[in-house]
Structure 1
Amino acid sequence: MELLPARGGLHIYLAPRRLVAVVRRGGRIVEDGALHIPLVNPGSQWKIPVAALRGLLGQTATPGTVPPRSPSRALATAGGAEGLSPDSRRGAIDRAVAARLPVSISLSGRWCQMVLAPWSDALMAEPAASRFLQMQLSAVYGDAARTWSVSCDDAPYGHPRLACGIDADLLESLQSILAEHRLRCAAIEPLVGTVCRTLDGKPTAFAVAEQGRLSMAVLSRSRVTAFQTQPCGDNWHNELAQAWQRWTLRAPELAAIDDVAVMDLSGVARHAQADRLPAHFRLVEPPFGPAADFSRPNDTANAAAPLHRAPPAAQAEAKAATEVGAEAAAATEAGDSAMVKLGAAA
Structure 2
Amino acid sequence: MSRLWAESWRIGLGADRVEALRLRPFTRAQVAAQGSASVDAGAAPLADRVAAALGLALADAGAGAGRGSATVVLSNELVHYAVLPWQAGITRPAEVQAVAQLHFQRLLGDAAQTCSVQCHEGGWGQPVLACAVDNALVDAMRAALAERGLKLASLQPLLMAAANGLRGRLADDAALAIVERDRVCLARWSGGRPVEVASRRAGAGANTPPGTVVAQELALSEHGAPAQPVDVLLVGPQARWSATDGLGARLLNPTPGPLALAGEA
2:92 maps to 1:124: yes
TM-score, structure 1 normalization: 0.60
Q: Which runs of 5+ in 1 are unaligned?
A: 1-7, 60-74, 76-89, 292-346
Instruction: Report which of the two structures shows the higher radius of gyration computed on alpha carbons.
Output: 1
Whether 1:144 aligns to 2:89 is no
Equivalent residue for 2:199, pick from 210, 226, 229: 229
The residue aligned with 1:282 is 251
CA distance in 1, matches of 2:238, 2:57: 25
The residue correspondences of 1:31-70 to structure 2 (distance < 5 A) are: 31=32, 33-41=33-41, 45-57=46-58, 59=59
Separation (CA, whole Å) in 2 of partners of 1:144 and 1:158: 30
Within 2, Cα distance between the matches of 1:262 and 1:13?
A: 19
Within 5 Å, give how 1:1-346 maps onto structure 2: 9-25=8-24, 26-31=27-32, 33-41=33-41, 45-57=46-58, 59=59, 75=60, 90-91=61-62, 93-94=63-64, 98=66, 100-120=67-87, 121-122=89-90, 124-126=92-94, 128-199=95-166, 202-203=169-170, 204-220=174-190, 223-234=193-204, 239-251=209-221, 253-265=223-235, 267-268=237-238, 273-274=241-242, 278-284=247-253, 285-288=256-259
Q: TM-score, normalised by structure 2?
A: 0.76
Q: Secondary structure at the residue paired with 1:47?
A: helix
SS at match of 1:184: strand
**Count of aligned residue pairs for this structure pair:** 246
1:51 Cα deviation (Å)?
Answer: 1.7
SS at match of 1:255: coil
C-alpha spacing 1:35/1:205, structure 2 compared with 1 (3 Å) = farther
Q: Output the CA distance in 2 between the equivalents of 1:248 and 1:55.
A: 39
| Same amino acid, percent of matched pairs | 23
Structure 1 distance, partners of 2:120, 2:185, is: 18
CA RMSD of aligned residues (A): 3.4
Name the structure with the higher strand share. Answer: 2
CA–CA distance in structure 1, aligned partners of residues 29 and 123 of structure 2: 30
* Structure whose residues are more often helix by fraction: 1
Structure 1 pair 259–19 and aligned structure 2 pair: CA distance change class (3 A): same
Distance change >3 Å, CA 27–CA 221, structure 1 → 2: farther
Inter-partner Cα distance in structure 1 for 2:250 and 2:207? 10
Q: Within 2, Cα distance between the matches of 1:185 and 1:115? A: 25
